[in-house]
């Protein structure tokens, strides 16, 4: 495992955001949190419900130390979140499978950020539009300027939430497997990393577009 250094202020974790297992994988700089969040498109949002935790994938965006989330006003899964209930947002990048000499030391290379806290429903229209813009730009850079803006009716159907990034922890694993000395010495089994990455495919224009429509650079150059 290699050390990872990040610029920025410490994450200042609270007791519940302090990583106890695998401390050597815990990044302590705020820049590490930003890097993990800004590299992601989907988070996994955990909320409490009467029948236990519920974890759903959803889009998000970050601006400074604020994470924005959104959803339909009718979404039952947002009820607890909108009421200020405790929540957890996790973003994970899987960077590779770690093949060890032993079954036990098999692992994964990854970067993950875990944010705990509660969200606030935004009511100010300027703030709501800002949050939606940040989320749109994270999912589809350039789309905020290049698409038809939200109407009043669309805005009314949307809850926009903000969550503070104060309580967060980041874990990063990189590098080759860490095997027991005896297994390394025995030299009987292959070991190494099979990297995994996400790649964009060729743009698929909507069939309803006029046939001479050019794919914009914000899409073709992504």
Give the Cα separation of 100 and 96 in Å (integer): 13
The number of CA neighbours under 13 Å toward the Cβ of 188 is: 6
Q: Judged by CB, which is closer to a copy of itself: 9, or 196?
A: 196
39 touches a copy of itself (CB under 8 A): no
Nearest distance from C-beta of residue 65 to a copy of itself, angstroms = 19
Q: Judged by CB, which is closer to a copy of itself: 38, or 146?
A: 146
Which residues, 138 to 167, sit near a copy of itself by CB under 8 A? 139-140, 143-144, 146-151, 154, 158
Give the Cα separation of 179 and 184 in Å (integer): 6
Exposed/middle/buried for residue 114 (C-beta within 10 Å: 0-12, 13-18, 19+): buried
Q: Judged by CB, which is closer to a copy of itself: 64, or 207?
A: 207
Nearest distance from C-beta of residue 24 to a copy of itself, angstroms = 14
Q: Which of 10, 126, 156, 207 binds a copy of itself (CB under 8 A)?
A: 207
Nearest distance from C-beta of residue 149 to a copy of itself, angstroms = 6
Q: Which of 2, 3, 10, 51 binds a copy of itself (CB under 8 A)?
A: 51
Where does this chain touch a copy of itself (CB under 8 A) — which range of 1-9, 29-37, 119-127, 188-196?
Answer: 188-196
Closest CA to 159 of 188, 219, 119: 119
Which residues, 92 to 111, sit near a copy of itself by CB under 8 A? 92, 94, 96-97, 99-104, 106, 108, 110
Nearest distance from C-beta of residue 181 to a copy of itself, angstroms = 10
Residue 123 contacts residue 83 (beta carbons within 8 Å): no
Residue 37 contacts residue 113 (beta carbons within 8 Å): yes
Q: How far is CA 128 from CA 83, 120, 150, 159, 161, in A?
A: 17, 11, 11, 8, 8
């Amino acid at each position: 495992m290699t050390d990872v250094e990040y610029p920025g202020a410490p994450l200042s974790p609270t007791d519940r955001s302090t990583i106890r297992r695998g401390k050597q994988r815990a990044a302590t700089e705020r820049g590490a949190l930003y890097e993990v969040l800004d590299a992601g498109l989907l988070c996994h949002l955990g909320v409490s419900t009467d029948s236990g935790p519920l974890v759903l994938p959803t889009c998000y965006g970050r601006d400074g130390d604020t994470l924005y989330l959104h959803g339909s006003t009718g979404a039952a899964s947002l009820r607890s979140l909108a009421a200020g209930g405790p929540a957890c947002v996790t973003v994970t990048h899987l960077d590779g499978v770690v093949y060890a000499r032993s079954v036990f030391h098999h692992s994964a290379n990854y970067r993950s950020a875990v944010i705990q806290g509660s969200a606030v429903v935004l009511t100010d229209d300027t703030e709501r539009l800002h949050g939606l813009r940040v989320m749109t730009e994270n999912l589809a850079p350039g789309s905020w300027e290049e698409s038809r803006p939200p109407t009043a009716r669309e805005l009314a159907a949307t809850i926009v939430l903000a969550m503070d990034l104060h309580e967060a922890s980041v874990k990063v694993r990189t590098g080759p497997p860490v095997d027991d000395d005896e297994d390394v010495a025995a030299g009987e089994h292959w070991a190494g990393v099979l990297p995994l990455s996400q790649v964009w495919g060729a743009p698929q224009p909507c069939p309803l577009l006029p046939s001479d429509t050019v794919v914009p650079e914000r899409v073709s150059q992504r």
